[in-house]
Structure 1
Amino acid sequence: MLKHKTVPAEKPAPRALLFSQQTIGLGFRMTGMVYWADTLAELGWDIGMVTVQLSRITEIVNPSRFSIYPADSINCWRDRGANRRGFVWVPPIHPMRMPTRWLDPVTALAARRYGASLPRKILEEAAGVDLIVIESTVAVALFDTLREAAPNARFVYCASDRLVPNGMSPVLQDILERTAPLYDLVRVPAHSMIADFPPGTNVRHIPHGVDRAAFQTRKPSPFAPGTCNLIVAGDGAFDPVATRYIAEAMPEATLHLFGRMSPDSLGGIGNARFYGEVPFSLLVPYLQNADIGLAPYANRPNRNYFAESSLRQLQYILCKLPIVLPSFAAPRPQPYHFLYEADSPETAGAAARAALSCNRSQISDEGVMDWHQVIAQVLEHVGIDPAGAAGPAQ
């Protein structure tokens, strides 16, 4: 009798479901959660990313933001590249910040309805995944629903930002404080954010990474020879007043601004160029060949973590750029930080001019991780190896 050799079944790819206000595969800007998705996909994971923080209310009150999403991507899964799929979720309502806390009960009701309205297509996807990542967005209101749908998944809260200082409702902060200890991991990109979470929370400081491969080859300079060029790589908490003082103090320099800043924000000053949002590959040559990196943050409460958690600043460091930023955003100043006072934005110009004297050869990127190192730490802390095998529950 012939003996048939048993061929072991191929192990299915591990699966992850990410909830973020960002989107993969549509050519939008590269942010931390997009890098998470891409890195997991490169490791062989099947990735689904659900874009949140939208609703039919957004379509009414912020049509320009809503219009960037293709109509055929709304409320359905679409392929977004190799082992990547995206779902732009647009329910009737989502929990929004109200002008007064007297209206918090309305937001609380919206938060409950938000979880209850999670589409079946997403719940079915969640049921079989190994990992669910919820970014610091309105998606915190989905935790209970997702935990019920995916009892065997590992849950990670990615605290890219603090909720309330970034326009989220205090109701969502209350939900996070209740659910934080129930996550398998709460990841923060800055040491100063560890104390934000209640006792019993498995909170770990895991910094952002950088896409080192994108910077390995020196790109030709987009600047004219012999010119001085300053770059603003991102619009987060953008302070146009300080930025204008820098432009006025350095008329011989050109400011290159990338992000969703309005060209009118600097009053039509002649040495500023606005590019809007561009693919990361187009931004890299500007980063590599600039003279100074600007991080002009507006002075808002609870922003002291920015110097540690800013992805743009890691990219500046990788390109050995001196960084100009307000002192409140640099609780641990470095030799390559050139500080000004946000309450006296006229001091920003002198800080930028001083940055020209920085010895850039001494700026070290030794402690800057890449995204594979970041994801490896995340998976280790929840008991999953990069191939997707889960250890004992935490």
Structure 2
Amino acid sequence: MQHETTMIGRPTLLVLSNHVYSAAGRKASVHFIADEFLRRGFEVRFVTVGASWVTRLKRFGRYETLRSTPSNKWLSQSDCLYSYLHYSGLGPVNMRSGILNWLTEPLFVRFGASLLEDVNQHLARATVVLIDSGSAVCFFDYVRSVNNAALVVYNAADLLGAVGVHPSLLRLEKKVFDNADVVRLASAQMAATIPSCGNLVFAPHGIDKELFARPVPNPYRGHGPHIVSIGSMLFDSDAVRAVANAASHTTVHVFGAPWKGKVPPNVILYGERSFKEIVPYLKFADAGLAPYKIGKGQEYLVQSSLKIKQYTFCRLPIIAPDTIGWQEKHICSYSPSDLGTYSLAVSRALSMDRGAIDVSSVPGWSDVVDSILNRAPQEKVSRLALIEMSNRS
């Protein structure tokens, strides 16, 4: 359905993110946060930025969803939830060359100087603006110029310096860290690299507990035990191959990740799937695989990994590299450089008492949004309270 209407008087959340909101696409933390605001009675306007001719050429994962989504028009995803793919033909891309990055910086700085008018009208009346980590940081000054009354939240799901963005985004992100009303950190370790302006809040990723509580049939057929891997961030296909080869009696199910090289016979590649489709595979798996290829500066993933939270909530023993100092007792580590450790990690995971895995510390997304709003400046909180009171009256 593409018809959309504005809900007069309802508080509005406007999101700027590299991610696409689509029923068929993946869900990152920003999608779950948007869903929680929707549950609280907000109208949600989810705007995808950073789409360019370069991203249109990419064929994998979320880029497939991006390429198949109509651009520059509002799409109704559900009641009071609308998405928009803002396509300008230009977006910040790391050119992998110091000279090319220097030459393109003026272009990418101008990228965030404006939004299309059918986005502006909703930005101007937004109660909360959520800027997601990524190229959306380019729009911070523009957001403030259009609507300085809105609560501006920066969702720092990742450190941009650790994920290889264009250098201009690092400088723009610093301004966002310094001036956003609230900076939500997915990992407390991120705070060590960010000068605090009194606006930081550590709110680890949550779980859509209602979705996981719904009864679903077991999707697995055939040879088990079943090991599941979800997501593409820092994905190490060599590690998955090593796990599969070391445990040929298992079947490894890989969702939403690129693959390089030969696929072992006991590995099934599913490509991009909606999160609702993936949930049954999580609930009925025997173990979860987190094949991160960790580099310098990416240690914060200990706390910010969404898949670790999801595996834990499903009481899955987790197979992961020892390049991170994991705290969870149910994580069984392998050494990427030692093939002999893969079979040991799998053996430990599959023999573990899953009932002993503690899920009490896994928050819900309502806890995350509570943490964000509790950190908001008093004048912005008062504005939110007045809008909610007027809606109830």
- State if a TM-score over 0.5 links the two structures: yes
Match of 1:337 in 2: 331
Alignment partners' CA distance in 2, 1:211 and 1:317: 13
- What letter matches 1:254 in structure 2? T
SS at match of 2:87: coil
1:32 to 29, 32, 35: 29
SS at match of 2:45: strand
2:219 to 218, 222, 244: 222
Distance 1:39 1:45, change over 3 A: same
**1:147-185 Cα distance to aligned partner (Å, 9 max, x none):** 111110111110111113213112111111133110011
Match of 1:132 in 2: 129
Pairwise CA distance, 1:36: 1.2
Distance 1:174 1:114, change over 3 A: same
Q: Which moved more, 1:377-386 or 1:88-97?
A: 377-386
Pairwise CA distance, 1:14: 0.7
Structure 2: any 5+ residue segments left out of the alignment? 1-6, 388-393
Query: Does residue 1:360 correspond to 2:357, yes or no?
Result: no
Alignment partners' CA distance in 1, 2:192 and 2:146: 30
Alignment partners' CA distance in 1, 2:16 and 2:135: 9
Match of 1:322 in 2: 317
* CA RMSD in angstroms, aligned pairs only: 2.4
Match of 1:80 in 2: 77
Alignment partners' CA distance in 2, 1:70 and 1:266: 25
Query: Does residue 1:267 correspond to 2:262, yes or no?
Result: yes
Pairwise CA distance, 1:136: 0.7
Pairwise CA distance, 1:317: 0.7
- What letter matches 1:371 in structure 2? W
Distance 1:93 1:378, change over 3 A: same
Distance 1:261 1:84, change over 3 A: same
- What letter matches 1:378 in structure 2? I
Do the aligned partners of 1:220 and 1:285 also contact (CA within 8 Å) in 2? Answer: yes
Do the aligned partners of 2:218 and 2:281 also contact (CA within 8 Å) in 1? Answer: yes
Do the aligned partners of 2:45 and 2:83 also contact (CA within 8 Å) in 1? Answer: yes
SS at match of 2:258: coil
**1:187-234 Cα distance to aligned partner (Å, 9 max, x none):** 111111112212425111101110111221443322348831111022
Pairwise CA distance, 1:105: 3.0
Distance 1:374 1:345, change over 3 A: farther
Query: Does residue 1:302 correspond to 2:297, yes or no?
Result: yes
Distance 1:226 1:107, change over 3 A: closer
Alignment partners' CA distance in 1, 2:231 and 2:83: 24
Distance 1:345 1:51, change over 3 A: farther
2:236 to 236, 239, 250: 239
After superposition, where does 1:268-287 map in structure 2 within 5 Å?
268-287=263-282
Q: Which moved more, 1:245-254 or 1:122-131?
A: 122-131
After superposition, where does 1:34-113 map in structure 2 within 5 Å?
34-59=31-56, 61-62=57-58, 68-69=65-66, 73-113=70-110
Pairwise CA distance, 1:83: 0.6
Alignment partners' CA distance in 1, 2:271 and 2:382: 36
Pairwise CA distance, 1:63: 5.7
Do the aligned partners of 1:17 and 1:131 also contact (CA within 8 Å) in 2? Answer: yes
Alignment partners' CA distance in 1, 2:250 and 2:69: 44
| Identity fraction in percent | 28
The TM-score normalised by the length of structure 2 is 0.89
SS at match of 1:176: helix
Pairwise CA distance, 1:92: 2.4
After superposition, where does 1:114-125 map in structure 2 within 5 Å?
114-125=111-122
Alignment partners' CA distance in 1, 2:277 and 2:382: 30
SS at match of 2:88: coil
- What letter matches 2:331 in structure 1? H
Do the aligned partners of 2:109 and 2:168 also contact (CA within 8 Å) in 1? Answer: no
Distance 1:235 1:112, change over 3 A: closer
Alignment partners' CA distance in 1, 2:202 and 2:351: 33
SS at match of 1:353: helix
Q: Which moved more, 1:341-350 or 1:268-277?
A: 341-350
1:388 to 378, 384, 388: 384
How many pairs are equivalent?
A: 378
Match of 1:378 in 2: 372
- What letter matches 2:309 in structure 1? L
Max Rg structure: 1
Pairwise CA distance, 1:302: 1.7
Match of 1:3 in 2: none
Q: Which moved more, 1:13-22 or 1:94-103?
A: 94-103
SS at match of 1:89: strand
Structure 1: any 5+ residue segments left out of the alignment? 1-9
The TM-score normalised by the length of structure 1 is 0.89
SS at match of 1:126: helix
Do the aligned partners of 1:107 and 1:169 also contact (CA within 8 Å) in 2? Answer: no
Match of 1:6 in 2: none
Distance 1:56 1:266, change over 3 A: closer
Pairwise CA distance, 1:343: 3.9
Pairwise CA distance, 1:363: 0.5
Do the aligned partners of 2:199 and 2:375 also contact (CA within 8 Å) in 1? Answer: no
Distance 1:245 1:71, change over 3 A: closer
Q: Which moved more, 1:274-283 or 1:143-152?
A: 274-283
- What letter matches 2:384 in structure 1? G
- What letter matches 1:114 in structure 2? F
Distance 1:25 1:82, change over 3 A: farther
2:342 to 323, 348, 361: 348
- What letter matches 1:389 in structure 2? A
Alignment partners' CA distance in 2, 1:174 and 1:51: 21
